[in-house]
Amino acid sequence: MALLFWIALGAVGYTYVGYPLGLMLLARLKAKGTQVAAANDAQPPVTVVIAAWNEAANLPRKIRSINASDYSGDVHIIVASDGSDDDTEKVIGDFPNVTLISLPTRQGKPSALNAAMAQVKTAHVVFTDARQTLKRDAIARLIRRLQDERVGAVSGELVQIAADSQESVSVGLYWKYEKWIRQNESLVHSVPGVSGALYAIRTEDFSPLPSDTILDDFEVPIGILRKGKQIKFESGAIMYDQVEADSAAEQRRKIRTLLGNYQSFRRNLWLFHPRQNPIWLQFMSHKVLRLVVPYWMVALLVTPLFLQGIFYQLFLLTEGGFYLAVLVAKVIPASRGNRLIGFCNVFWDMNLSAVIALKRYLTNEIDVRWQKRPVGT
């Protein structure tokens, strides 16, 4: 029992603390011995692709955001409407640099992206979602990184504007933690995925996605990684979005993401081979080990019950406080305004998401069609 306890504690500690700290140190060491490629400020023509479903409320603002960028090269926008039944296709009529591709029925984001990419004529393409607005230099920063031939994909940075709740602040802290890890992964070699809300690639590196793909923002860059190119995180290429108002909304997003991870892992078994995957350590530590944490948490809850010693008793008492905080958060939603209770609730929901996602994957509860937040949330 003691061995299982310490293995479980070490696994959880490594996943959430040891790996990020070790990665940070490795990134600093590598940065000292790395020669930075000469800056190339060329701004060639670029196509911005937006896959949209019922985005009439967001598209005009998004297109204006793109057109207001300080990118000096030609910017063309393709909107692939995935069977929208609102005014999505009407509201973009006033923008001369926008091409509309209308899919007659709702098929899902992969089909919309494939249809749009078939019409792209520029050497570089930027993928973005309809909801977020872009900082003026976001496109320029993405394309600048792609001038390095070693780089095949560049992810932008999602800046979350906190909603008026402490719970949203807890979700926001989680995102800051994630971005810190991705920044260091990028410095070491590559990030294992990009932000689907904003990323750029060379058009020639895009391979059509299977129609049931859940995570284009994992499948596309991972395919590029396999070609020997790097995936970078550009912290200056900023898009703005409203943070989820509560952890339940963030949990729904997380479940879909993890469900997509299970799908992509099965399709890309080479990722698990250390000789084939150049970022095997990052992939296993960031993507895979987190999926196992919920089961280590069960071991950490059970094993101290059978062990003697003041340490195990104090650990069990601490665990009891954590689960009590989660229970209070579920029974009394207003209590999530407390920073500690809010953090415990978010951590619980994030790990529960991994279990739910696995269950849905194993029972084939997969719907590639995405759902949106209600307007104004």
Q: What is the pLDDT of residues 34-60, one digit of tens each?
A: 555 555 677 999 999 999 999 999 999
Q: Is the pLDDT of residue 3 over 80?
A: yes
Q: Which is higher by pLDDT, 228 or 168?
A: 228
Task: For 336-350, write each residue's pLDDT tens digit.
Answer: 888 899 889 889 998
Is the per-residue pLDDT at 333 higher than 90?
A: no
Average pLDDT (206-231) is 95
CA 220/CA 207 separation, integer angstroms = 7
Query: Per-residue DSSP letters for 303-340?
Result: GGGG--SHHHHHHHHHHHHHHHHHHHHHH-GGGGGSHH
Confidence label for 244 from pLDDT (cuts 50, 70 and 90): low
Confidence band of 167 (pLDDT split at 50, 70, 90): low
Domains in the chain (CATH in brackets) are 2-14+281-362 (no CATH), 46-245 (3.90.550.10)
- Local confidence band at 176 (pLDDT 50, 70, 90 cut-offs): confident
Report the alpha-carbon angle 326-329-330, nearest 5: 90
184-198 per-position pLDDT tens digit:
999 999 999 999 899
**Residue 241, pLDDT score:** 84
> What mean pLDDT do residues 290-295 have?
96
- Residue 339: per-residue pLDDT: 85
- Look at residue 334 in the predicted model and tell me its pLDDT: 86
Selection from 105, 372, 357 nearest residue 251 by Cα: 357
In the block, residue with structure tokens 């204006």: 64
Q: Say what the pLDDT of residue 245 is.
A: 54
Q: Give yes or no for residue 33 having a pLDDT over 70.
A: no
> What pLDDT is recorded for position 374?
44
**Residue 35: alpha-carbon gap to chain centroid:** 29
Number of C-alpha atoms within 13 angstroms, CB side, residue 28? Answer: 5
| The pLDDT value given to residue 47 | 98
* Contact criterion met (CB below 8 Å) for 191 and 234: no
Cα–Cα distance for residue pair 328/316, rounded to 1 Å: 18
Residue 75 pairs with which residues in a beta bridge?
46
DSSP characters for 231-276? EEEEEEEEEEEEPPSSHHHHHHHHHHHHHHHHHHHHH-GGGG-TTT
Share of the chain above pLDDT 90, in %: 75
Distances (CA, A) of 87 to 59, 82, 156, 349: 10, 12, 29, 35
Instruction: Determine the Cα–Cα distance for residues 234 and 228; give it in Å rounded to an integer.
Output: 19
Going by pLDDT thresholds of 50, 70 and 90, the confidence category of residue 277 is: very high
The pLDDT assigned to 173 comes to 75
58 contacts 126 by C-beta, under 8 angstroms:
no
Alpha helices by DSSP H, listed for 152-231, are 166-188, 216-226
Tallying the residues shown for the chain, one arrives at: 377
Which pair of tokens denotes residue 248?
């339940």
Query: Given a cut of 50, is residue 377 above it in pLDDT?
Result: no
Residues 6+ apart with CB under 8 A from 19: 285, 286, 289
What angle separates helix 216-226 from helix 247-267, to the nearest 10 degrees?
40
Burial class (CB in 10 A: 0-12, 13-18, 19+), 332: exposed
Contact 116, 95 (CB under 8 A): no
**pLDDT tens digits along 146-166:** 999 999 999 999 887 755 555
Residue 130's contacts (CB-CB under 8 Å, 6 or more residues apart) are 50, 52, 55, 58, 59, 62
Burial of 355 (0-12, 13-18, 19+ CB in 10 A): middle
Please state, in angstroms and rounded to a whole number, the distance separating the CA atoms of residues 365 and 348: 22
Q: Tens of pLDDT along 115-147?
A: 999 999 999 999 999 989 999 999 999 999 999
pLDDT band at 1 (very low <50, low <70, confident <90, very high): confident
Q: Nearest CA to 81 among 69, 70, 93?
A: 93
Amino acid identity, position 310: I
pLDDT of 255 above 60? yes
DSSP H/E element including 37: none
> How much is the pLDDT for 376?
39
Task: Of 241, 129, 265, 245, give the one whose Cα is nearest residue 193.
Answer: 265
- Average pLDDT, stretch 212-219? 93
Task: Round the average pLDDT of the chain to a whole number and report it.
Answer: 89
Q: Among residues 346, 352, 351, which one has the least CA distance to residue 329?
A: 346
Tokens representing 192 are: 């294992």
The per-residue pLDDT for 53 is 93
239 forms beta bridges with 134, 158
